[in-house]
Each structure stands twice: as structure tokens, then as C-alpha cells.
Structure 1
Amino acid sequence: MRWNARDKWVVSKEIIHEPLIDDATFEQAQAILQRRGRGTGGQHVRQRTRNPYVFRGMIYCAVCDRRMQGQYNHGDAYYRCRFPQEYALANQVEHPSNVYLREDALTDPIDTWLASAFAPHHIESTITAMTEAQPSDHSPAAGTAAQTIITECDAKLERYRAALDAGADPAVVTGWIAQTQAERARAEASLRANTDTAPRRMSRAEITTLVNALGDITAVLRDADPADKAEVYRQLSLRLNYQPETQTVRAAVDLSTHRGANIWCPRGDSSPHT
């Protein structure tokens, strides 16, 4: 979802409904928006959030299994789970009124854990997992179904031609042939679309080159912009379950729908342990 440049706008050449404002008023409004920092040519400039949360939507309270909400306190990011006492009694849950977790107590242990996957003794298994987690070049089921239809259509066309040679009514057989050829054309189009739209799989050598080019993964994650780091976590399907009683966070990521990794990450109030 992004704003289109003005030269990409689609404008109707015919006025179907009575305009709410005239063209001159619209142009004046656009000029005012541009002067207010909206950008040139009506282009919307995306603004970074003032207080980004790198684990937004990823931290869950282990007591009630609800997402913890971000909250800034004295310039530091926290995640809070508020559970009123009456709700706890009604749901028979022993839940503190408020559960707090400081963000910077997690970032270094999480980044160190993720980077450990690229340590020398883990790198080969990580590259193997990344290679296997890629989607297949095409959908075997869709390709097989389309090919089956094409084969069946070819067989029908052969029978129809044989029927013509045997003296069948040309008008009837020609209609059958036209219908079968149209069905075959649709199957061919489906087969081509399935092949053309499939993402290209990266080879193991290409993934290895990419990983080596990143260098020190720990440093890359540590120095990344918070919004970019949050996107990395989101792409990894990172999920963090915070257990307030033991002050521990269980972190899990999914490399694919069939593969996952887990670690227990103890949290200290001021200096977390890896």
C-alpha cells in the first residue's frame, strides 16, 4: 500500500457525478499540502514512527497468552500486559495487575541468538535450512492437472479427426473440435502461468555467497535501524513468550511452515544473560 505519483493517477475523462469541488480549489489544496511537508507532486512521504517498537506484536504474556502492548516510560520502551483483578477472578487466572518487560533487556540476547545460527559450527546447517525452506519452483499439483487436461484433449482431437474420416457429420464434429481446442488452450495458459509466476529458487552457492557478504551478523543486527530490525523479526515470524514469575522469555522463529528453532532466554532486570 503506497501513494502513487501524480503522473500515475487515473482520471476519468467524463464527469459522471457532480464534483464536490472545482479543479481550481483542488489544485490550491494540493499546493497547501505540499507546503506542509507532504512532498512534491502530491507524493506521500512515509514517516518513521516517533517511538518504534522492534518487537511490536511479537511478545505474548505467558500467563494469559495475550499480546503485550508497547509503552514508553522515561524514554525507554516497555511492553505491558494489564489484566484487571476482576477479569482474573472471572477467568480463574492468577495474573498480576500489570506485567512489564523492558525492550532493551531483550534486543542483545535475541540478536546474539539469531547470529549464532551463522556461527562457523552452525553455518552449514543454517544454509541447508534456508535452501530447503524456499518455495518450490512451481506447483506440482497445478502443473500435473493442466498437463493431464492437455493429454486428454489431444486424445479427443485424434478421435474427432478419425470420426470425420469415417464420414461423421462435419458440422457436429467441428463443434466438438472447437470446444476441445478451447479447453486445451485454457490448460496451456494455466500451465504457462504456473511456470512464469513461480519464484526462482536460489542455489545453495548463491545463499552461501549472500550470507558471507553480510559479514558479522551480530554487528549488522545491532546497528540496524529499529524499524528495519522489526521487519527482520517479522519476516522470521519471531514469537516471544514472557513468563513474569521466572522472568524468562521463550523465543521461537519459523524458517518455514515445517521448520522451527527455539531457545530459552533468561532476562535480568538490568543486565540480561545470554
Structure 2
Amino acid sequence: MKQRTRNPYVFRGLIYCAACDRRMQGQYNHGAAYYRCRFPQEYALANQVEHPSNVYLREDALTNPLDTWLASAFTPHRLQQTITAMTDAQPLEHPPALATAAQAIITDCDTKLERYRAALDAGADPTVVTGWITQTQAECARAEADLHTQSGTGPRRMSRTEISNLVRALGDIAGVLRDADSADKAEVYRQLGLRLTYEAETQTVRASVDLSAHRGVMVCVRGGT
């Protein structure tokens, strides 16, 4: 049985400071959980960041509004709309620059090899042309190795079906959030790939959900008892 921490932080590792994009750290004060971003003045000057010495966010000021938003977004009558929004919000897939360059080299080598073979057929010196072919084939082999290394390194967009399956694997999100204790709430947030960004100046939190980090590894969480 997993031991629960005495003072659990529901949003541990999930809240970021908008000013510096660093994770905010949990801190208890008079029995209440807070999240704090401390940015010493010399660091702010060195990094050209306008940042208060300390940024604080109280946990219980965020929990209810966030749970209300999530419960609303994942209710049965809005589920398809939410899945569509999550599918469309994914970044477009772009092949890594090195893979694109390697593919261009391979295409160029293929063109050269066709010309060299045509030159042989036309009566060019076989010794000279064979040297060209050997050099080009070696260049092509290096590019193919680079392409193989780069393939699959970029993020892959999830299909609508994959997102639907992961959402359904979580079960009744609204029910779990309503009844769960702090540790189980934290597990739901983690599995949703929740990211919270706190803007201290406006005292607002931007929330986003990203299931891509958890594709294929979703587990069930229990409600409160």
C-alpha cells in the first residue's frame, strides 16, 4: 500500500510561473498549502526577466474552479466537443531538420547515380564513373543512416480515437474529482497531463490538458470512500 504524505500537494509539479516558466514549489503556511516562485533579484537582472521577489498562489483558491472546469468539460454531453478541441489543439507534425536534410541528400544522390549510369551507357570512362558512383553511394549510405537515426524522434499527433480511448480509461472524471481525496485528485491531474500557468500580475491561471505523455499507460484511480 502506497504511503500518503502528511501534507500532500495536489498540484505538485504542475504549476508554472508565467514570468519565468519555472515550476512553482509547494510550501505550507499556517496549515494551508501554497505554491511559491522565488526569483532573487540578481537572477532576474541576469536573465532580463521582470519578476517579483516572491510569487504565491494558495492551493484552495484554485482547486474548486479547476475541478468545476474539468467536470464540465468531461461531462457526457460535452465529451465529444472536448475531445475535438484536444485533437485540434495538438501541434502540427514537422519532420526534424536533420531528417529533412538527410532526405534531400538521398534524393540528390539518386539523381546523380542515374546520370552516372547513363554516362556509362553512353561510353564514358568506366574507371572514372565507377569512382563517382562509389563516392555517391557512400554519401547516400551516410544520409540513410542519419535518416534512420532521426526517424520517430519528433512528437506524433494523437488520433481522435487515441484521445477518446485515453479519456474513457480515466472513467468518470467528474465523479472522481467530486469524491476523491487529495492524493487521488493529484493522480487524475497527472494522468490528464494538466499544466497550470500562474500569472501573478493578473492573478489568473491558464490551464491546459495534454494526454500525449500518458498514451498507453493510463491506469484507473479510485474515488473517495
TM range (shorter): 0.5 to 0.7
Cα pair 2:96 2:150 within 8 Å, conserved: no
Which runs of structure 2 are paired with 1:73-88 in the superposition (5 Å)? 73-79=29-35
- Higher relative CO (Cα under 8 Å, sequence separation at least 6) belongs to 2
Among the aligned pairs, what percent are the same residue? 68
Give a deviation string over 1:85-137, Cα, whole Å, max 9, x none: xxxxxxxxxx9x99865322322221221232212343222211222344556
1:103 equivalent in structure 2: 59
Gaps of 5+ in 2: 40-51, 211-225
Superposed CA RMSD in Å reads 4.3
User: Residue 218 of structure 1: CA displacement?
Assistant: 2.8
Q: Does 1:171 align with 2:127?
A: yes
Give yes or no for contact 1:129–1:255 (8 Å, CA) kept in 2: no
Q: Which runs of 5+ in 1 are unaligned?
A: 1-46, 84-94, 257-274
Q: TM-score, normalised by structure 2?
A: 0.61
- Rg larger for: 1
Task: Give the corresponding residue for 1:239.
Answer: 197
Letter in 2 for 1:251: V
Deviation readout 1:161-184 (Å, 9 max, x if unpaired): 233334433333222111111222
Q: 1:125 to 1:145 in 2, by over 3 A?
A: farther
Match of 2:142 in 1: 186
Query: Could you tell me how far apart the structure 2 residues matched to 1:231 and 1:183 are?
Result: 46
- The answer (yes or no) to whether the contact 1:138–1:194 under 8 Å persists in 2 is no
Distance in 2 (CA, whole Å) between partners of 1:221 and 1:121 is 18
Q: Render the CA deviation track for 1:198-252: whole Å, top value 9, x for unaligned.
A: 566443233223323322213334524465466458x433113356xxxx84221
TM-score scaled by length of structure 1: 0.52
Q: Per the alignment, in what secondary structure is the counterpart of residue 238 of structure 1? A: strand
User: Is the alpha carbon distance of 1:237 and 1:187 closer, same or farther for their aligned partners in structure 2, counting shifts above 3 Å?
Assistant: same
For 1:209 and 1:82, how far apart are their aligned partners in 2? 39
